[in-house]
Structure 1
């Protein structure tokens, strides 16, 4: 069997497995229970198949994103692989069934224009697909009673059930972003719009929301993320290095606000402080080659965060961003490989600025919260 055939079989197998895992994850989110939850008899094939209402639009948007990269790379005669999908699901805790997908660019020595075109094609293609999914979702909303078909036990509380649930219940809230707000105000029937603690039970809307979340993450103009490629194409190597590093430091600085809180006990602080400094030191690995400068930067960031909370106790960052920041800073890096520089035309410059608009439309400062 040829190596190309083996690779194609692996890619197809990963895609099929990812369809299964995202369908199972979609079922869990829609019905608010884990697949292996044996406390009640809730699972049947009909409910499993309803997970397709999540997996099909979500994987559809992801696939459009990846093939946006793929086809533009082919147009530039860049040697590139078909997408590798990454299934991830355990049934032991809530997940979305996948860790995304990627394509392998085998050609080296790309120009800044090639990086720009390949980088911007995926997010813009995925953004258009997400718009279509969200338009359908917001124009086909079920009645307000839909939630009671999932949780019949809530019927006794009425539509104000969230304030009457037992104190040990956890409620997941999805955050706001500008695009969702626009759809709610100008597209959806106001009488049918679900509260944000119900959105994950609406699989099409949930798929669209997650797609916007990942689009905004990809468009961060940092390192070799899609947004980093776009930035590199627009401003070149030196300016990219400065902007990327600066934005990364701002990103983790915002995310960590509140970790060091002057109100916590001294005993907690003497444990939290060194661990957090170690985290920052590791996350800044690709930003500062010199270890002394890296340690100094970690101390300055932590001090400013502490001072900000001291002055404004109600201010708090979104701590879950820290994991993403750690992955970028420690493993992906904030720098970009050097490339041959060719002039970027005005059309590409406009698309680059438009991608920034897309980022702000999709970005949510606190995409998920649990109460």
Structure 2
């Protein structure tokens, strides 16, 4: 049976465009939505598949073979981010630039962020999903980077796959953050100048401080890299849109998660305003993230190919644990400057 005949089981094709080794079919759905999703998932094993609207018309775009990854770009961004995190980290040691110390911070922060993204990558590869290696993002922020991302192509096969990909990154990131914090707290560190940055500590960080009987008021930049990892974990696990938490909740409770996704931004914005107006805290991070999460919430979460089969009880319990752990990474007032 030809590919076109197979496609006609699910779509009525009324026009066709070819360009190079790709084809664009103008289609009208002719089968139930869940059957179409499953068909496209099967098709994506051999083709690059995209079903989208093009100038108001629904088109199915197919290209033979897998997309080629530009690993050179991954490497260039990795090196650039290593440089920016090293330069920023080298300023954490007092009034003089400390390049070796900056390298230590860079290794720690990239290990934490890279572990998070590799968690996603490993889970996606387990489900034979087309996923890129991490792209680190160099940027002269307070930590020298905006983090790292991976790109996923194709349709998510089912809710189990969605759950595994969503939850593995934060959990692996938390493990990496814990390791880095423990190591960082063992490194002797004394501030040579009056600090300009103060950080709040989440419950999980406080637990590590208590377990190690850490009594000092300052922490080594390596430990700060672990703190960043916990903070990023909480941000990613906010159950909104296509954040990790949005993926996990979508896999757990299905389309009901869309309602939760609409509520969370308002909660964050209200909390941010409460901090500024009631507690007089000069910190806008939660107001900012409330606005960011609002934009995430306006995009409906894409449905997996099999959206009818729920996840198993074991995954549901892991999901609950993951959200509890993420809440333990919450910092009411993350940081402020003097």
Q: TM class, shorter-chain normalised?
A: 0.7 to 0.9
- Cα shift at 1:111: 2.0
TM-score, scaled relative to structure 1: 0.68
Asked if structure 1 preserves the Cα contact closer than 8 Å seen for 2:261 and 2:297, the reply is no
- Indicate which of 135, 156, 171 corresponds to 2:182: 135
Kindly provide the CA deviation profile for residues 104-144 of structure 1, in whole angstroms up to 9, marking residues without a partner as x: 11012542221111000100011111111112222x1426x
Q: Which residue of 2 aligns with 1:299?
A: none
Asked if structure 1 preserves the Cα contact closer than 8 Å seen for 2:234 and 2:327, the reply is yes
What CA distance in whole angstroms lies between the structure 2 residues aligned with 1:19 and 1:12? 10
Kindly provide the CA deviation profile for residues 54-79 of structure 1, in whole angstroms up to 9, marking residues without a partner as x: 11011011111111100110110111
Q: Which residue of 2 aligns with 1:297?
A: none
Asked if structure 2 preserves the Cα contact closer than 8 Å seen for 1:254 and 1:318, the reply is no
Asked if structure 2 preserves the Cα contact closer than 8 Å seen for 1:222 and 1:247, the reply is yes
- Cα shift at 1:315: 6.8
- Cα shift at 1:95: 2.4
- Cα shift at 1:316: 5.7
Q: Which residue of 2 aligns with 1:300?
A: none
Q: Which residue of 2 aligns with 1:10?
A: 73
- Indicate which of 310, 315, 323 corresponds to 2:288: 323
Q: Which residue of 2 aligns with 1:82?
A: 133
Structure 1 residue 181 corresponds to structure 2 residue 206:
yes
Structure 1 residue 53 corresponds to structure 2 residue 104:
yes
- Indicate which of 113, 134, 147 corresponds to 2:191: 147
- Cα shift at 1:324: 2.3
What CA distance in whole angstroms lies between the structure 2 residues aligned with 1:363 and 1:335? 26
What CA distance in whole angstroms lies between the structure 1 residues aligned with 2:299 and 2:238? 11
**Structure 2 alignment gaps of length 5 or more:** 1-66
Structure 1 residue 367 corresponds to structure 2 residue 328:
no
- Indicate which of 120, 123, 130 corresponds to 2:170: 123
Structure 1 residue 20 corresponds to structure 2 residue 83:
yes
Q: Which residue of 1 aligns with 2:13?
A: none
Asked if structure 2 preserves the Cα contact closer than 8 Å seen for 1:113 and 1:341, the reply is no
Q: Which residue of 2 aligns with 1:347?
A: 314
- Cα shift at 1:321: 1.9
Give the number of the structure whose residues are more often helix, by fraction: 1
- Cα shift at 1:231: 0.4
Asked if structure 2 preserves the Cα contact closer than 8 Å seen for 1:80 and 1:106, the reply is yes
Q: Judging changes above 3 Å, is the alpha-carbon distance between structure 1 residues 13 and 120 closer, same or farther for their aligned structure 2 residues? A: same
Structure 1 stretches of at least 4 aligned residues deviating more than 6 Å after TM superposition:
none
**Structure 1 alignment gaps of length 5 or more:** 34-41, 152-161, 163-169, 262-308
Structure 1 residue 248 corresponds to structure 2 residue 294:
no
Question: What is the 5 A alignment of 1:56-75?
Answer: 56-75=107-126
Kindly provide the CA deviation profile for residues 202-259 of structure 1, in whole angstroms up to 9, marking residues without a partner as x: 111110111111011011111111011000111001x101112112211111112266
Bigger relative contact order (CA 8 A; separation at least 6): 1
Q: Which residue of 2 aligns with 1:289?
A: none
Asked if structure 2 preserves the Cα contact closer than 8 Å seen for 1:113 and 1:344, the reply is yes
What CA distance in whole angstroms lies between the structure 1 residues aligned with 2:319 and 2:235? 16
Asked if structure 1 preserves the Cα contact closer than 8 Å seen for 2:182 and 2:223, the reply is no
Q: Which residue of 2 aligns with 1:105?
A: 152
What CA distance in whole angstroms lies between the structure 2 residues aligned with 1:212 and 1:137? 14
- Cα shift at 1:332: 6.6
Give the number of the structure whose residues are more often strand, by fraction: 2
